[in-house]
Amino acid sequence: LAKTTQPISMDSYEGQEVNITCSHNNIATNDYITWYQQFPSQGPRFIIQGYKTKVTNEVASLFIPADRKSSTLSLPRVSLSDTAVYYCLVGDMRAAGNKLTFGGGTRVLVKP
Amino acid sequence: EAQVTQNPRYLITVTGKKLTVTCSQNMNHEYMSWYRQDPGLGLRQIYYSMNVEVTDKGDVPEGYKVSRKEKRNFPLILESPSPNQTSLYFCASTLSPGTGYNEQFFGPGTRLTVL
């Protein structure tokens, strides 16, 4: 079971790029890395997922080094509405008996 | 509209009084799961289901039961609730575990208080 470690919190300013790194040293071969965003009192929302190298969508980029023991979520030019908790999740839903474990989350505060 | 619904959204109950939190999804998803969220502890998986009649324990299953008789529904049952089950509960579903794709769709949450 891949355990994840993230920074507890990060502050940023509007227009800046925010990079959040997640450590997952014992990631398994079939595990994917997924990031979610959560606003207070709402369910988490999917942001991006990757297996290796770099993945980019309209919201974020995900960088995964060759050893896959960590990953970095990059949020370009953040706005106040990006203030939220960001979770890193590592797992493989295909495997019966697989428990999906969220990291502790990183609280990102975007200041004006 | 594709969604995951949970009911009730808020519930205050007393110790030992059995309760059920319902979860339903209209996306024909195979995989469904329940999480609880507590301050400082993040999201922890309680139970999950790979498909109808296939369920398994997550990280914190003690004190909970689930069933998956139909693909769309995945109720969470607390046979004898205790105050330490006071929490915010989320149900989630995902299309198919076959590809390893992990996009889960979360419900709006159920805030449970056990007195």
The answer to the question of residue A2 being in a domain is no
Q: Is the CB of residue A91 less than 8 Å away from at least one CB of chain B?
A: yes
3-state per-residue secondary structure call for A57-99: CCCCEEEECCCCCEEEEEECCCCHHHCEEEEEEEECCCCCCCC
The answer to the question of residue A52 being in a domain is yes
- Checking if the pLDDT of A74 tops 60, the result is yes
The answer to the question of residue A44 being in a domain is yes
- Checking if the pLDDT of A96 tops 60, the result is no
Sign of the CA dihedral A90, B110, B32, B14? positive
Higher pLDDT, A98 or A82: A82
Exposure on the CB side of residue A11, measured as CA atoms within 13 A: 2
The answer to the question of residue A30 being in a domain is yes
Q: What is the structure's pLDDT at A101?
A: 72
Q: Is the CB of residue A102 less than 8 Å away from at least one CB of chain B?
A: yes
Residue B8, SS3 per DSSP: coil
- Residue ranges in A3-54 assigned as alpha helix (H): none
The answer to the question of residue A3 being in a domain is no
Q: At which residue do the structure tokens 């493989």 appear?
A: A92
- Checking if the pLDDT of B96 tops 80, the result is no
Confidence of residue B41 (pLDDT cuts 50, 70, 90): confident
Q: For the ranges A89-98, B63-72, B106-115, which has the lowest average pLDDT?
A: A89-98
Q: Are B52 and B28 in contact (CB under 8 A)?
A: no
Task: Give CA torsion, residues B81, B86, B88, B90, to 10 deg.
Answer: -20
The answer to the question of residue A4 being in a domain is no
From A100's Cα to the closest Cα of chain B, the distance in A is 7
Q: What is the structure's pLDDT at A1?
A: 52
> d(Cα A96, Cα A82) in Å, to the nearest integer?
35
Percent of chain A with pLDDT over 70: 91
**Cβ-nearest to A99 among B4, B42, B59:** B59
Exposure on the CB side of residue A36, measured as CA atoms within 13 A: 23
**Cβ-nearest to B103 among A49, A94, A105:** A49
Question: Of A12, A11, A4, which Cα lies nearest the Cα of A70?
Answer: A4
Confidence of residue A98 (pLDDT cuts 50, 70, 90): low
Q: For the ranges A102-111, B67-76, B97-106, which has the lowest average pLDDT?
A: B97-106
Q: Which amino acid is at A46?
A: F
Q: Which amino acid is at A3?
A: K
Q: What is the pLDDT of residues B61-79, one digit of tens each?
A: 999 999 999 999 999 999 9
The answer to the question of residue A46 being in a domain is yes
- Report the b/e string of A48-61 with b at 16+ CB within 10 A: bbbeeeebeeeebb
Q: What is the pLDDT of residues A39-65, one digit of tens each?
A: 988 999 999 999 999 999 999 999 999
- Checking if the pLDDT of A97 tops 60, the result is no
Say whether A100 and B94 touch across the interface (CB within 8 A): no
Q: What is the structure's pLDDT at B50?
A: 86
Rounded mean pLDDT of chain B? 92
From A94's Cα to the closest Cα of chain B, the distance in A is 5
Rounded mean pLDDT of chain A? 90
B57 CB-contact burial (10 Å; exposed 0-12 / middle 13-18 / buried 19+): middle
- Checking if the pLDDT of A14 tops 90, the result is yes
Q: How many domains does chain A have?
A: 1
What residues does A72 pair with on adjacent strands? A21, A63
Residue-range definition of the domain harbouring residue A101: 9-111
From B96's Cα to the closest Cα of chain A, the distance in A is 8
Confidence of residue A70 (pLDDT cuts 50, 70, 90): very high
CATH for A13: 2.60.40.10
